Amino acid sequence: MNFEDIEQVAVLGAGNMGHGIAEVAALAGYDVTMRDIKEEFVDDGYENIEWSLGKLAESGQISDEEADAALDRVEPLVDFEPAVAEADVVIEAVPERMDIKKDVYGELEEYAPDEAIVATNTSSLSITELSEVTERPEQFCGMHFFNPPVRMALVEVIRGEHTADETLDAIEELAEAFDKTPVRVRKDSPGFIVNRVLVPQMNEACWLVHDDVATVAEVDSTTSFDMGLPMGAFELGDQVGHDVTLHVLEYLHEVLGDAYEPCPLLEEKVDAEELGKKTGKGFYDYEDGGVEIPADEGRDDVEARLLAVMANEVGKLVENDVAPVSDIDEAMMLGAGFPEGPGKRADAYGPDDLVETLESVHEETGAARYEVSEGLRAAAEEGGFYGDDDEGETVEYDQIVVETDGAVGHVELDRPARMNTITVQMIDEIDAALDQFDADEEIRAVLLEGAGDRAFSAGFDAASAAPGSGLEASEMSRKGQRVFGRLEEVGMPVVAAIDGYCLGGGMELATAADMRIASESGQFGQPEHNLGLLPGWGGTQRLKHVVGEGRAKEIIFTAKNDYDPETMADYGFVNEVVSPDEYDDRKWELARDLAGGPPIAQKLTKRAMLAGRDDTDAGLEYEASAFGQLFTTDDVWEGLAAFQQDREPEFEGE
């Protein structure tokens, strides 16, 4: 089965994952049958799809007509035969138990077309073992979506021992058609990528508390504030459900051995039916205040231990050729919301130090989970998972200029002869510059601009890269999306200073900044439609959040390249328009003013806004938690004291 031949998708299971996958497929234009064992299950799933599509239309992400059309493409069924009889791809999303899945495949073989591909949404079970129940193991693979499928970008595409390359290629292309980012798991390894890294870290958090090394508050303060993860480790466990985490751990323990022994504290929570948010209580009590994480109780030794455990799992995955470190990092950022991948984070921390941490704890406890993997040892010997490319301050930049001016990190796109057009190399260099600023505690704001006075950036330099295939072009798009997205995620304000042309990919880069200042000579536009293209570095998504969907469609569909700064200020894109004489002074004044602000509050504000971009309730929950956390910081008391004393505050980020 080739991707081009896929027209109908069958989803087996109408629960949270099943109806979510069915909705994603229908939104992508596929005819979908959604089957479950009882009419009430199917009806509930269908009603959830209808509700979700309504929410997407209500928020302006799709039109009412698109919502209706997607719902019309979904056919809910209980009878097995009509559900799969004409399917080109069958995605199984039944409960995460080997026996249940195997029973389903027996019935599937009776009715599904011989050429149909079968993909399982399992999060950890063996693809090979499941495939061997079928008569088509070469047409069987893993297609692991993340919850909720409508919002989460990652799909792990997993090879079983018998899976044909053609099957993996077709499913990867299908995932892209679903507007998802596929990451290939090269070997059938328990937990695949995200669960294999994340679940041992959550288990280690439990061991730290169980062994009286740290408290829940100290662990979550460390993970949420010091490590910058989207949630505290215990907060995440409460969200996932401790029964789910324990189930994955038990499977890892059974298949891989004592390194994955579940912590008794986790087992106690499950036995007490304190499963987390879904039962009203886990490590936090959701009927009595919910999550409260102090911002100032993080500990260096806790961070070292948690990072060492994650890096050790990365080492095992790389060592066993399950995935390269770059794919692991991408999967963790997309599937777990990490601000950067554990491989890059381990390199920044120092693999030698992480090896030493594991060896020390292993000597103290004798526990198998602290045995250092050969992959991590090799990374330490080679100067990091990514090699010894960035020792100290020896990062080499060719197409950008990176400087620091006090608390401001300055990035200048440095191709003035080509109007600072963006290349793939420049994107990589911007990524490296953000790494540099992240590692420098003195940097508290970023100023981004173009060299010369002709252009901030006139867009993508098409002559610098001619993708040989649609897949290569998609990879280039994803790289730009990820790196530009870091400007939104980095825990400090980012100012784009715009003089001259700001077009195409250059405007997409500016859109990712927090604020934009323009000289009167600025000129804006997204002219991609004139080339038969679309903004491919996040522009179709970010621009509508800045100027509203109506204005975003106007800018993209008209493909004009002569919007003036005053118009863009009226649209809400430009925050400030200044004369050429004032431009240089004002851009630095703004950046330095922002750098003098409260860094913890600024970081949490950006995260709250991102969390609520597509889910207001999630944003409000983060906001309330962050508001309480800020009252534990020195910065708040400094701000209050400065206000009372009528002076400028001196925030220290503490």
Residues annotated as part of the active site? 144
- Concatenated DSSP letters for 402-443? EEEETTEEEEEE--GGGTT-B-HHHHHHHHHHHHHHHH-TT-
CA distance 397 to 255: 46
Query: What is the number of other CB atoms lying within 10 angstroms of the CB of residue 506?
Result: 29
DSSP class of 550: H
Which amino acid is present at 593?
A: D
CA distance 301 to 307: 10
Q: Tell me the C-alpha to C-alpha distance, in Å, between residue 607 and each of 569, 626, 644.
A: 25, 9, 29
CA distance 193 to 207: 22
Residue 468, classified by CB atoms within 10 Å of its CB into exposed (0-12), middle (13-18) or buried (19+), is exposed
By the 8 A CB rule, do 409 and 446 touch? yes
- Concatenated DSSP letters for 367-394? -GGGSPPHHHHHHHHTTSTT-S---TT-
* The 455-457 sheet, strands edge to edge: 455-457, 501-503, 523-525
CA distance 619 to 607: 8
Phi, psi for 509 (deg, rounded to 5): -65, -45
By the 8 A CB rule, do 318 and 325 touch? yes
CA distance 527 to 44: 44
Helix ranges (DSSP H) in 461-504: 470-489
By the 8 A CB rule, do 8 and 90 touch? no
Which candidate, 260, 254, 258, places its Cα nearest to that of 199? 260
Collect all residues with Cβ–Cβ distance below 8 Å to 646 and sequence separation of at least 6: none
